[in-house]
Amino acid sequence: MARLRKKYVCYNCGHETMQWFGRCPGCQEWNALVEEIQPQSSAPAPRASGSKRTNSRPTPLSQLDIISQNRQSTGIDELDRVLGGGIVPGGVVLVGGEPGAGKSTLLLQVAGHLAAGGQQVLYVSGEESGPQIRLRAQRLGILQDSLLVLTEVDVEAVIAHAVQLQPALCIIDSIQTMVYPGLDSAPGSIAQVRETASRLIAAAKEENISTFLVGHVNKGGSIAGPKVLEHAVDTVLYFEGERRANFRILRAVKNRYGSTDEIGVFQMGSRGLEAVDNPSSFFLAERPRQVPGSVVTACMEGTRPLLVEVQALVGPSPFGGTPRRQSTGVDSRRLAMILAVLEKRCGLQLQTQDVYVNVAGGVRIDEPGAD
């Protein structure tokens, strides 16, 4: 029986150490070391990269082949907007969000649209069985013969099927369930996520297969796994919004082929996620009139102006000592600066007052013009 070996791996930079530190020695990030337990093995360690060895030579930039810029529409205008115009051939997109945000639903809708157009789509699931996916697809009205479902967690088997089928789109749901047999660590560990993602990305680039990776988020709100996962992919999308509300906001935090300022607004319905053409009217639909502490402000999200409601509440602090400053959708440091200006320039006495600020609809305002 192999003896267990314990080590600590940084989820931000991948630095490994045999001893726990509060601060990563590699990237200096606090509380980033995660414990990993794996059996010691005499077998040689697998290669870290999933790409093949190539006899590459330095080539002048002007002599490199030009990649086709033809993008493939997803069939959802809001998603196309966030992606910068559609799916780039051979591009790898990472989609993250809270459980139940609609990641799998959105990608299944995209797969159904491409399959309805006669293109072959490979949907790989490591969490749901085939009948469960069919039941969800039937609810969404997506039953296409060109949509192929594969329930597999072995990343080598997934790549072999993708290379053989050459689909127009490959969806991995989710990257935390994929396993590389050459590693002894558990599924979802930093080593497994790093290795499986590197092999999937290398295969997508080599075979020119557009790939979507679904990623779970941790309790801090970031995608679980090493930070190098977000660095390796071409695009990173995050679902935002309140889980109990029937709308979602899709935001790009990284996009090599487009802008990161655009957002997509979706409404959750019985037939899946539906694009919202006029988000301003959607956000203000239930706003009461003539209510103190509520104001409508304009902000820009990429090329789209939005009207959103900002709610504020000020009341005496029951604790006496330090008043509470709580904000949702607004940077807390910016709120503190605004309150300091109001105290200094407007003469407002806020030292003993609790202040609560909320942006309705789950929208996050970063624009200074909204102050």
pLDDT in tens, 298-310: 888 777 888 888 9
30-39, 93-102, 283-292: range with lowest mean pLDDT: 30-39
Q: What is the pLDDT of residues 77-91, one digit of tens each?
A: 999 999 999 999 999
Peptide bond into 259 cis (omega under 30): no
Span of 51-65, 146-160, 249-263 with lowest mean pLDDT: 51-65
| Integer Cα distance of 122 and 111 in angstroms | 8
DSSP letter at 57 equals -
Q: Is the pLDDT of residue 51 over 50?
A: no
Sign, CA dihedral 159-164-166-172, equals negative
- Report whether pLDDT(327) > 50: yes
Amino acid at site 219: K
Residue type, 214: V
Q: What percent of the chain has pLDDT over 70?
A: 88
Average pLDDT value for residue range 196-206: 94
Q: Which helix (H) or strand (E) holds 200?
A: helix 190-207
Of 41-45, 153-157, 223-227, 234-238, give the lowest mean pLDDT range: 41-45
What is the arithmetic mean of pLDDT over 153-174?
Answer: 95
Distance CA 152, CA 129 (A): 10
pLDDT at 335: 92
Categorize the per-residue pLDDT at 3 as very low, low, confident or very high, splitting at 50, 70 and 90.
low
Q: What are phi and psi of 235, to 5 degrees?
A: -140, 140
Task: Note whether 351 and 343 are within 8 A (CB).
Answer: yes
In terms of pLDDT, which residue wins out, 73 or 34?
73
For the question of whether the overall pTM of this predicted structure is more than 0.85, the answer is no
277 with 269: CB under 8 angstroms? no
Count Cα atoms within 13 angstroms, Cβ side, for 325.
16
pLDDT for residue 1 is more than 50: no
Residue 245 has a pLDDT of 67
160 pLDDT above the threshold of 60: yes
Choice among 28-37, 110-119, 302-311 with the minimum mean pLDDT: 28-37
Q: What is the mean pLDDT of residues 161-181?
A: 94
Q: For strand 16-17 and strand 4-10, is the pairing parallel, antiparallel, or unpaired?
A: antiparallel
Residues 275-280, mean pLDDT to the nearest whole number: 84
Q: Which residue has the higher pLDDT, 63 or 112?
A: 112
More confident: 239 or 167: 167
pLDDT value at residue 224: 60
d(CA 204, CA 209) in angstroms, rounded, equals: 5
Rounded distance between C-alpha atoms, residue 307 and residue 296, angstroms: 6
Q: What is the mean pLDDT of residues 324-334?
A: 90
Say if residue 295's pLDDT is above 70. Answer: yes
Q: What is the pLDDT of residue 46?
A: 47
250-265 confidence digits (pLDDT tens): 989 999 988 888 889 8
pLDDT of residue 44: 44
- Report which of residues 189 and 60 the model is more confident about: 60
The model's pLDDT over 67-80, given as tens digits with 9 standing for 90+, comes to 656 889 999 999 99
CA-nearest of 180, 182, 119 to 148 is: 119
Instruction: Classify the C-alpha dihedral 78-84-86-92 as positive or negative.
Output: negative
The H-or-E segment that residue 272 falls in is strand 272-275
Q: What is the mean pLDDT of the chain?
A: 85
User: What pLDDT is attached to residue 79?
Assistant: 94
Compute the Cα dihedral for 137, 143, 146, 148 and give only its sign.
positive
